[in-house]
Each structure stands twice: as C-alpha cells, then as structure tokens.
C-alpha cells in the first residue's frame, strides 16, 4: 500500500513539474506575442480592400450587436457578405436590418440552398468567396464582437507577401451564469496558452475559427474551401493547408468570443465537442495536453501525501498548483487578452483547469459529437460521418 501511495505522490509531483514547465513556455510565448504585436502595428498603414465573409445560421442571442461591430470599422474599403442556407433565415433577416443603418457599406446577402458538404459552413464559404470582389478574405463567426481597429490590425501582416493567412486570439465573454463564465475562462486562458506555446515552438500551423483571414490565391492554391467540407475542425485544416505554401501569422489583435451556452448541459456538450474535435485533429498534441494541467496533479499529490501522514507536504503541493494556475491566468489576462474581469478569471481558472482535465479524459470515451442538433462520428483527421 505504501508503495502504491508513493507512486501516486510521484505521479502528482511529476504532473506539477510538467505543468510548471508548460507555464514557463506560456510566459515565453507571451513575450513573443507582445513583440510580434508591436511589429504588426507598425505595418498598420497597409489597407487594401477586403471582403468580410460571415456565415449565419438562425437568430442567435445578441446577433444584431455582434454584426453591428463589423459595420463600424475604421477602415477605408471593405465589403461584408452574409450567407445562410435559406433566403428566409432569421440570421439573414437580422443582418439586413443592421445593414440598413449603414448604407455606405457594400453588402451582399446570399444563400446556398441545401448544403453540399457535411460541414454546412463550407458551402457558405464557397458561395461567398465566388461573389467576393476582394482578394483578401476575413472569415469570422457570428458569435464574435470586435473593436473599430479590428480590420486594420488583422490585415496588417498581409503587407508581407509571404503571409497567406492570419488568425486571432480571443477572450471568452460571458456576463451571466457560472457555467458560461467557466467556459469563457477556458477559452481565454486554456486556449490562449496552448496557441501561444504552439506559435513559440513551431509557428502557426493552424487557424482559430473566430477569425480566419486568407489571401484568395492561398485558398485557390490549396484547392478551394471545398476541401474543408468533410471536416469538423475547418479552422485547423484551413491554417494547416495554407501553412504548406505560405506563412500563417498570429495577429496581435484580440477579439471577444461571446458565450451562448448559459446552462450546465449546453456548456458541457459544447466543451466536450471542442475537446473531441481537437483529439481527432491533433491526436499527438492532444494526448500530451494531459501534462499541461496542474490542479488535478495537485489534488492527486495532496490525497497521496495525506494518506501517507504528510499533510503539510500535500497541502503545499495543492496550494502550489492553485497559485500557479491563478498566476498564469493573471499574466495572460493582463498582458495578452486585456481582460475586463481579471480577478474573476484568476479565481475561476483553477476550477476550470480541473474541469479541463476531465474534458480531456472524456474525449477518449467516445468518437461521437452533437452539432446543431445532429449526431456525427469523428474519424481520423477530424473527418465527420453523419450517423443520426
């Protein structure tokens, strides 16, 4: 029994060591991010015409306000294209209402009919790309909110002709509900830390769905948006394909990703799908993610030490894990994300770190996901198969 407890304690300490090393890499990634962001802002005078591509699906909460933030950009020449499956889609109706208040912004309202691909978003991207008049596409989700300098800062890296794609970090935005706030903290800290370390170690080989900017020629070179059709993680694959022939840049601009899942069940389902998608898209990296969590290993070390009659050691290790996660959340919130609720993020992130480990473990229990009311099976590379 004593040997077993020693093994558990050793495993807990090992996990705390690996998560601390990861935190060190995150801090190095923060330094790299801030350096790159300053360099990008110096190139912000590059302002070619751009086409904003906005896929829509129904009337989501707050949609009008989210869309309006794209009509108030401090940018000289851009158009916005909206696309849904049906012409009478409620989201398109809201987009028309918002657009009517900004007649000086060129807008197109499109529909695809029945989706050609299992990932219906890709059908909209193809339709909008064909109708777009500019050679730089900026794709953004319907649940994001941006500031007036969004276009200027996202477009700036394209001043370098070797850049084929640009993507943005995002902070989770949730004003009500504990589960929504916990999901927001996961987006803000867990996602950001992983992206910063990936950018530090190997550069950007993927994109993030809330903002995917690409040159038309880069999209055509990879074979068009259609190759994304069978996949769940279209953002990962788009960045991965563009990175084969051009540079993908992480923008210094950060946007708001608004949390729409306020209930416990909705939030859990969304985060489970998120983890499963990552598991199939990046299997090796996802497996190693287990060693980046701290609080689960702190709890394991505490339990093992307490059982060995070493409560002070166990308490110290647990407190270290909690403080380390709060410190990482504080650094990212203040130095990268410009969070408005830094204290809340620091207090909630240790709990979200523990939850994240369980989401990670649960991602290996099933290959099925629930997406927009339909059930799919994920296979190698993130391919989706409709099963119900």
Tens digits of residue pLDDT in 284-306: 888 899 999 999 999 999 999 99
Higher-pLDDT residue of 371, 61 = 61
Q: What is the pLDDT of residue 175?
A: 76
Please determine, for residue 115, whether its predicted confidence score (pLDDT) is greater than 80.
no
Is pLDDT at 388 greater than 70 in this prediction? no
Could you tell me which residue, 387 or 218, shows the higher pLDDT? 218
Q: Among 241, 275, 309, which residue terminates a domain?
A: 275
Helix (H, G, I), strand (E, B), or coil: what is residue 250? Answer: strand
Residue for token digits 């068009």?
Answer: 224
- Mean pLDDT calculated for residue range 135-141: 96
pLDDT of 15: 97
The Cα diameter of the chain in Å comes to 75
Q: 26-35, 106-115, 326-335 — which is least confidently predicted?
A: 106-115
pLDDT tens track for 171-213: 998 878 889 899 999 999 999 999 999 999 999 999 999 999 9
Asked, for residue 5, whether it belongs to a domain, the answer is no
CA dihedral for 58, 59, 64, 65, sign (positive or negative):
negative
Average pLDDT over residues 251-258: 94
Which band of pLDDT confidence, cut at 50, 70 and 90, is reported for residue 380? Answer: confident
Q: Are residues 195 and 301 located together in one domain of the fold?
A: no
310 and 186 share one domain: no
Residue 120: per-residue pLDDT: 86
Percent of the chain clearing pLDDT 90 (strictly above): 74
Confidence of residue 376 (pLDDT cuts 50, 70, 90): confident
Domain finish residue from 275, 306, 333: 275
In a domain, 13, yes or no: no
Clarify whether residues 192 and 254 are in a common domain.
Answer: yes
Same domain for 249 and 186, yes or no, is yes
Alpha-carbon gap, residue 250 to 187, rounded angstroms: 16
Same domain, 75 and 40: yes
Q: Dig out the tokens for 213 from the structure.
A: 């900017």
Computed over every residue of the chain, the mean pLDDT equals 92
Do 199 and 309 share a domain, yes or no?
no
Q: Residue 107: its pLDDT value, please?
A: 97
Cα angle 12, 16, 20 (rounded to 5 degrees) comes to 170
Domain-embedded: residue 201: yes
Has residue 12 been placed in a domain? no
Do 82 and 207 fall within a single domain? yes
Domain count, the chain: 2
pLDDT confidence tier of residue 277, bands split at 50, 70 and 90:
confident
Section 328-355 average pLDDT: 95
Residues 234 and 302 in one domain: no
Query: Are 78 and 139 within one domain?
Result: yes
Assess whether 227 and 111 both reside in one domain: yes
Per-residue confidence (pLDDT) for residue 381, from 0 to 100:
78
Q: Give the whole-angstrom CA distance, residue 127 versus residue 92.
A: 15
87: domain CATH number is 3.90.550.10
Domain termination residue (choose one: 275, 308, 337) = 275
Domain with 101, as residue range(s), is: 29-275
- Mean pLDDT score, 124-147: 95
Instruction: Examine the pLDDT at 350 and tell me if it is beyond 80.
Output: yes
Residue 20 domain flag? no
Q: For residue 172, what are the β-bridge partners?
A: 257
List pLDDT tens digits, range 14-55: 999 999 999 999 999 999 999 999 988 887 778 999 999 999
In a shared domain, residues 232 and 320: no
Same domain assignment for residues 329 and 230: no
Compute, in degrees rounded to 10, the torsion defined by CA atoms 370, 371, 374, 376: -70
Q: 108 by DSSP, 3-state: which? A: strand
- pLDDT at residue number 111: 94
Q: Nearest to residue 322, comparing CAs of 288, 341, 304, 349?
A: 349
Virtual torsion, Cα 171, 177, 182, 188, nearest 10 deg: 0
CB 356 within 8 A of CB 286: no
Res 373 pLDDT > 80: no
Give the pLDDT band (50/70/90) at residue 227.
very high
- On whether residue 16 sits in a domain, the answer given is no
Least confident window among 208-217, 234-243, 250-259, 360-369: 360-369
């Amino acid at each position: 029994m004593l040997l077993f407890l020693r093994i558990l304690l050793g495993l807990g300490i090992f996990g705390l060591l690996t998560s601390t090393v990861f935190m060190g890499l995150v801090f190095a990634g923060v330094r790299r991010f801030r350096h790159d962001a300053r360099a990008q802002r110096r190139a912000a005078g590059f302002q070619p015409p751009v086409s904003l591509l906005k896929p829509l699906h129904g009337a989501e909460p707050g949609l009008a306000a989210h869309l309006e933030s794209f009509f108030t950009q401090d940018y000289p020449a851009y158009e916005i294209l909206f696309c849904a499956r049906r012409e009478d889609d409620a989201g398109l109706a809201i987009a028309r209402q918002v657009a009517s208040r900004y007649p000086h912004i060129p807008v197109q309202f499109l529909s695809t009919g029945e989706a050609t691909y299992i990932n219906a978003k890709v059908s909209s991207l193809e339709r909008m790309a064909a109708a777009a008049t500019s050679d730089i596409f900026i794709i953004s989700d319907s649940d994001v909110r941006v500031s007036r300098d969004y276009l200027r800062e996202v477009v700036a890296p394209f001043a370098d002709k070797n850049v084929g794609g640009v993507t943005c970090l995002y902070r989770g935005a949730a004003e009500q509900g504990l589960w929504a706030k916990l999901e927001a903290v996961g987006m803000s800290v867990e996602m950001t830390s992983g992206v910063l370390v990936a950018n530090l170690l190997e550069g950007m080989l993927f994109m993030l769905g809330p903002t995917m900017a690409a040159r038309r020629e880069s999209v055509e070179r990879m074979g068009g948006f259609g190759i994304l059709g069978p996949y769940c993680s279209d953002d990962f694959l788009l960045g991965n394909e563009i990175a084969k022939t051009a540079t993908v840049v992480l923008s210094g601009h950060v946007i708001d990703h608004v949390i729409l899942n306020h209930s416990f069940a909705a939030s859990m389902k969304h985060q489970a799908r998120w983890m499963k998608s990552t598991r199939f898209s990046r299997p090796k990296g996802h497996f190693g993610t287990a060693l980046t969590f701290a609080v689960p290993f702190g709890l394991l070390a505490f339990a093992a030490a307490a059982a060995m009659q070493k409560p002070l050691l166990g308490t110290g290790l647990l407190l270290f894990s909690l403080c380390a996660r709060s410190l990482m959340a504080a650094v990212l919130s203040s130095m990268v994300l410009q969070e408005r609720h830094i204290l809340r993020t620091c207090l909630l992130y240790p709990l979200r770190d523990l939850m994240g480990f369980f989401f990670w473990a649960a991602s290996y229990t099933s290959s099925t996901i629930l997406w927009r009311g339909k059930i799919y099976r994920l296979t190698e590379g993130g391919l989706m198969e409709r099963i119900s």
